[in-house]
Amino acid sequence: MIVKDIMTSSVKTATGNTLIKDIASMMCFNKISGVPVIDDTNTLIGILSEKDILKAMFPDVAQIMQEGAKPDFESIEADYTNLLDKCASDLMTQTVASVTPNMPLLKAASLMCVKNIRRIPVTDDGNKLVGIISIGDVHKAIFQENLLKGDT
């Protein structure tokens, strides 16, 4: 089995200029935890996850240690609204692992495990986004393939 056998081709995406509030809405309404960030030519330029957004809310650990104060998590949570007017390019992870459509599925899964990521963009040779797979997609495909083998 290869990546293109299970990838989702209609991918929810953002551009570098997409506001975080729009991305957060998209994530909530579509029950997804991250989106690839593309440029005007559909080239993958980053990825933005819920973790990236939440991580941006917290002060730097070095800053906390230097100031010697305990963080006020209630006021940090209230500052979430300040993040909503930022753009994807402000918070996205820029170094993004990706896989190709013809990559063996288990090779893609091993990359996801090694990098501790739950979803990975699928790109062509020119780094153009063509799909996405999740660790859940991989598990489902392997389960179904093995379940069908057991029925024959």
Q: How many whole angstroms separate alpha carbon 9 and alpha carbon 127?
A: 15
For residue 57, which of 83, 34, 33, 35 has the smallest C-alpha distance?
83
Task: Note the pLDDT of residue 62.
Answer: 57
* pLDDT, tens digit (0-9, with 9 covering 90-100), for 79-137: 667 788 899 999 999 999 999 999 999 999 999 999 999 999 999 988 999 999 999 99
**Longest CA span, the chain:** 66
Which pLDDT score, from 0 to 100, does residue 74 have? Answer: 65
Q: What is the pLDDT of residue 101?
A: 97
Query: Considering the entire predicted model, what is its pTM?
Result: 0.82
Can you give the CATH number for the domain in which 48 is found? 3.10.580.10
Q: Tens of pLDDT along 11-64?
A: 999 999 999 999 999 999 999 999 999 999 999 999 999 988 888 876 555 555
Tens digit of each residue's pLDDT (9 = 90 or more) over 50-78 = 988 888 876 555 555 566 666 666 666 66
Contacts of 125 (CB under 8 A, 6+ apart): 100
pLDDT at 142 (0 to 100): 87
Residue numbers of the domain that contains 105: 3-150
| Structural domains counted in the chain | 1
